[in-house]
Structure 1
Amino acid sequence: MPVSIVLFEDNDRLRESLAYLLNSDPEYTVTGDYNNCNQAVEIIEELAPDVVLMDIDMPGKTGISGVAMVKQTRPDTAVIMYTVFEDDERLFQCLCAGANGYLLKKTPPARLFDAIQEVLNGGAPMSPNIARKVLNSFQQKTDNLYNLTDRETEVLQLLVKGNSIKVIADALNMAFDTVRSHLKKIYLKLHVNCGKEAIAKALNEKLI
């Protein structure tokens, strides 16, 4: 079955273009597109999409509220923010609300397809500018309050860049299960349950 996608975007022209682009590939299908997320709970309950592309600045409820609504309704649905905003505050708020990825609207179309696959594989796709912001914030504090090892730090930095476990394993020349083991230890030390919570904590506390 194709990957089902729901769009929340108030720019009608952009929303229609995104729907056309995604529907042009038989591996994807846009099952719904909306100019606001005010009824996100009902929409997600009805359509149960695999992925949601969510704008931030929309009439009524913001996309930040929309992320929380989607994740509370169907935690398994992956949410990728698709926005023009690059500021730290909105980025952090989206991650804390449960966003799985954060792409800027200037992202090339091919990267959008890659991001959807990454998020489905457990990654946290981000535009390069956003990944740099996260890393800069991540590296501002030199005190390692959570006693992460050098290797755990390397794994976490690659996770922050939006890489999947497989990509991290390839980059560090480690086995897939070894990376998973490192991630479990990282989550335990940071007192979080998943990758997006680890990224959010890194932003909030400016770890390492």
Structure 2
Amino acid sequence: MPVSIVLFEDNDRLRESLAYLLNSDPDYAVKGNFDNCTQAAEIIERLKPDVVLMDIDMPGKTGISGVAMVKQARPETAVIMYTVFEDDEKLFQCLCAGANGYLLKKTPPARLFDAIREVLDGGAPMSPVIARKVLMSFQQKTDNQYNLTSRETDVLQLLIKGNSIKIIADELNMAFDTVRSHLKKIYLKLHVNCGKEAIAKALKEKIL
């Protein structure tokens, strides 16, 4: 079955273009597209999408509120923010609300397909400029406080870039279960439960 997608974007032309682009590939199907996220919970409960693309600046409720509504209605639905905002505060708020990825609207359209595949594979897709911000945060924090080993740092850096466990294992020439073991130790040291929470923690602490 194709990956089911729902779009929340108030720019009509962009929303229609995204729907057309995604529907052009038989592996993807846009089940609904909306110019606001006020009824996001009801929409998600009804359509049950695999992935949501969510703008931030929309009339009524913001996309930050929209993420929280989506996750409360259906936690297994992955949410990728698709926005013009690059500032740390909005990025932090989106991740804390439950966003699984963060792409800027200047991202090449074809990158959307890669991002959707990554998020379904357990990754956290981000535009390069966003990934750099997060990576810099972790490099400074891990060097100074959390006592991660060099191998744990390697794993964490690849995770921050949006890679799935399988890709990290391939990149570092490690077994899948070894990567999972490293991640468990990383989360324990950072006092978090998952990669998303780890990223949010780094941003919250403003280590830039």
TM-score bucket of the superposed structures, by smaller chain: over 0.9
Out of 162-171 and 73-82, give the one that drifted further: 162-171
1:4-153 equivalent positions in 2, closer than 5 A: 4-141=4-141, 143-153=143-153
Q: TM-score, normalised by structure 1?
A: 0.95
- C-alpha displacement at 1:175, in angstroms? 1.2
Q: Is the 8 A contact 2:54 2:63 kept in 1?
A: yes
Gaps of 5+ in 1: none
Q: Secondary structure at the match of 1:79?
A: strand
Q: Which 10-residue stretch deviates more, 190-199 or 121-130?
A: 190-199
Following TM superposition, where does structure 1 have runs of at least 4 consecutive aligned residues deviating by more than 4 angstroms?
Answer: none
Task: Give deviations 1:100-125, integer Å, cap 9, x for gaps.
Answer: 00001111121110000000000000
Q: How far, CA to CA, are the matches of 1:206 and 1:151 in structure 2?
A: 24
Aligned length in residues: 208
Secondary structure, counterpart of 2:145 in structure 1: coil
Name 1:3's counterpart in structure 2. 3
CA RMSD of aligned residues (A): 1.5
* Residues 141 and 206, structure 1, Cα contact 8 Å, conserved in 2: no
Deviations 1:80-118 (A, max 9, x none): 000011111111111111100000111112111000000
Query: Percent identity among equivalent residues?
Result: 88
Which structure 2 residue ranges, 5 or more long, are not aligned?
A: none
Query: What's the CA shift for 1:181?
Result: 0.9
Q: Matched residues in 2 for 1:141 and 1:42: separation? A: 40
TM-score, structure 2 normalization: 0.95
For 1:13 and 1:5, locate their aligned partners in 2 and report how far apart those are by CA, in whole Å: 18
* 1:155 pairs with 2:173: no
Q: Is the 8 A contact 1:144 1:207 kept in 2?
A: no
- CA deviations 1:61-91 (Å, max 9, x no partner) are 1001101111111110000000011111111
